[in-house]
Structure 1
Amino acid sequence: MDLLQLRYFQVVARYEHISRAAEELRVAQPSLSRSLARLEADLGSPLFDRQGRRIRLNQYGEMFLRHVDRALAELDDGRRAVREARDTGLGRVRVASETLLTVTPLLGSFRAAHPRADVRLFQSDAEDMDRRLRAGEVDFCVASQPLTGAGFASVELAREEVLLAVPYGHRLDGRESVTVRELADEPFVTTRPGHWQRALLDRLFAAEGLTPRLSCEGNEPAASQDMISAGLGIGLIPAVSRRAGTETRVPVAWVRVDAPGCHRVLTLVWNRDAYLSEAARKFREFTTSRPFMTHRLPDARRDRAPGSVLARGHLL
């Protein structure tokens, strides 16, 4: 049994698919299969149930994977600790977020306060963030959806209202608020399943026994406001976009949604069993020791005036 075999087993166990694991590991499938066979022979027990091309972890594989994950995580943490002790900087902090607009000012402020920290940012949906935390690929996630993996710790950073954005001249332009039922026949611009905007939209409509009509679904949340402004539909947009003054660039009208739970909860999530560099520990302290964003929402009609300057909500 060697370290390479254990890493191969870990990746295959994650995918339960030889070809996908071989692609990630950049090894030939026959070589990967032989490595697994030698590992199973060394252990004296099969780790997977094989049904044709499909494989599934069996009870022995699940048991062994828990120990392999802990052992490899300890080795990775040891390498990081030695590297950071050798270097003169604070080390690296790796952060994943669903939307970059949310964390850009945060990371900029942190870099200004700790210029020796090496900051890496990844854009991920909830499923990918969960995977990255489990695999030790990131230190923290700024999540807009619950991440409930075993061993995860979290702290709430902020709650903000989510508003309905509509094109100027739309029938709802000028309304103070609207119910979900009034939106039943409206086409929505939204994200694909897995992103928080889509999860919120589906949840609000499901509460009324409805299914939203979709005119566009994509992987780029930042493009939603542009498409709404162009008249392709309406959509749910976080209040931070409005406070940041984005309608000076992409003009839309804002309407409040009269429905419980039409808000976004931002949480900082980390794996409590994972090693954190000095930079990561300082990032957690920096992020949780002060208000993450302001919550005051400007008056809708006042902010509709051409050329008006929105009250900006800074993330730090």
Structure 2
Amino acid sequence: MDLLQLRYFQTVARYEHMSRAAEELRVAQPSLSRTIARLEAELGSPLFSRQGRRIRLNQYGAMFLRHVDRALSELDDGRRAVREARDTGLGRVGVASETLLTVTHLLGSFRAAHPRADVRLFQSTAEEMERRLRSREVDFCVASQPLNGANLDSIELAREEVLLAVPPGHRLDGRESVTIPELADEPFVTTRRGHWQRALLDRLFSSEGLTPLLSCEGDEPGASQDMVSAGLGIGLIPATSRRIGTDSHIPVAWVRLDAPDCHRVLTLVWNRDAHLSDAALSFREFTTGIPFMTHRLPDPRREPAHDPS
């Protein structure tokens, strides 16, 4: 049994598909099939159930995969630790976030305080964050919704109100607050499923036995205010994102939602079993040791936004 067999098995187990695994590993499928067959012969037990061309991880394969994942993760951590000890810098820290605007100021401040740290940033959905933490592609996730998974630790960084943004001159422009049933026929600009804005919107409407009417579903939360201003719909936007948006002169009107728990909660999440470089340890201390974001809640009526620079 060698490392190549184990890594091949891990990839096949993840895809449960020989062709896709072979494509990712960049090996010929017959060679990959022979490697898995040799591993099964050495273990004395099949690891996959085969039905024609379809394969599924069986109970022995699932049991073996748990040990393989731990063993390969430890080896990867060891390789990383040696590399970081050899280097003169602090090492690398990988961070995933649903929207880059959320962490731009934080990472900029961290780089200024620790210029030797190698910072890598990834934009990811909640599902992708969980995968990246499990595979140790990133050290931390700045998440706006709960992440599920064993061995994950988290700490709350910030809690902020989520407001309703409407185009200037809209029938709700000037309202102090609005209920969800009053929005039943209003088209919403929002994100696709998997992003926190969509999860919040669906939850708020579901609690009233309603389904939101959508005018736009996208993958770029930062564009919501532009689309609302253009009259394409209304949208849920957190106070901080409004304040540090890419264009601080986008005219919209702000209304508070009369709904329970209409907030975004930001948490820092990490895998407690993963090796953390000096850069990663410094990032966690830096992030949790200072206020992550400070903002004042805006007046619910239209308020001229200011340039954050």
Query: Could you tell me how far apart the structure 1 residues matched to 2:265 and 2:200 are?
Result: 11
Q: Is the 8 A contact 1:180 1:204 kept in 2?
A: yes
Instruction: List per-residue Cα deviations over 1:227-260 (Å, max 9, x = no partner).
Output: 1111111111111122226663322111111101
> Identity of counterpart residues, as a percentage?
83
| 2:133 paired with 1:127 | no
Match of 1:104 in 2: 104
Q: Is the 8 A contact 2:248 2:307 kept in 1?
A: no
Name the SS for the 1:147 alignment partner: coil
RMSD of the TM alignment (CA)? 1.6
- CA drift of 1:223 comes to 1.5
Instruction: List per-residue Cα deviations over 1:55-89 (Å, max 9, x = no partner).
Output: 22111111111110111011111111111111100
Structure 2 gap ranges (5+) = none
Match of 1:137 in 2: 137
More moved, 285-294 vs 44-53: 44-53
More moved, 134-143 vs 40-49: 40-49
Match of 1:176 in 2: 176
Query: Could you tell me how far apart the structure 1 residues matched to 2:222 and 2:239 are?
Result: 13
Aligned pairs, number:
309
Match of 1:20 in 2: 20
More moved, 233-242 vs 86-95: 233-242
Name the SS for the 1:298 alignment partner: coil
- CA drift of 1:311 comes to 9.2
- CA drift of 1:30 comes to 2.2
Instruction: List per-residue Cα deviations over 1:269-298 (Å, max 9, x = no partner).
Output: 000000000000010010011111124212
Query: Could you tell me how far apart the structure 2 residues matched to 1:154 and 1:7 are?
Result: 29
Query: Could you tell me how far apart the structure 2 residues matched to 1:220 and 1:26 are?
Result: 32
Q: What pairs with 1:92-241 in structure 2 (closer than 5 Å)? A: 92-241=92-241
Query: Could you tell me how far apart the structure 2 residues matched to 1:187 and 1:210 are?
Result: 13
TM-score w.r.t. structure 2 length?
Answer: 0.96
Q: Is the 8 A contact 2:162 2:237 kept in 1?
A: yes
Q: What pairs with 1:43-58 in structure 2 (closer than 5 Å)? A: 43-58=43-58
Match of 1:30 in 2: 30
Match of 1:68 in 2: 68
- CA drift of 1:125 comes to 0.1
TM-score w.r.t. structure 1 length?
Answer: 0.94
Q: 1:275 to 1:117 in 2, by over 3 A?
A: same
Q: Is the 8 A contact 2:101 2:244 kept in 1?
A: no
| 2:282 paired with 1:294 | no
Q: Is the 8 A contact 1:145 1:196 kept in 2?
A: yes
Partner amino acid, structure 1, of 2:99: T
Query: Could you tell me how far apart the structure 2 residues matched to 1:150 and 1:116 are?
Result: 32
Query: Could you tell me how far apart the structure 1 residues matched to 2:35 and 2:257 are?
Result: 56
- CA drift of 1:11 comes to 1.5
Partner amino acid, structure 2, of 1:48: F
Query: Could you tell me how far apart the structure 1 residues matched to 2:237 and 2:22 are?
Result: 40
- CA drift of 1:204 comes to 0.6
Match of 1:85 in 2: 85
Instruction: List per-residue Cα deviations over 1:164-211 (Å, max 9, x = no partner).
Output: 111111111111111111111111111111111111111111000011
Query: Could you tell me how far apart the structure 2 residues matched to 1:176 and 1:247 are?
Result: 24
Match of 1:253 in 2: 253
- CA drift of 1:138 comes to 0.5
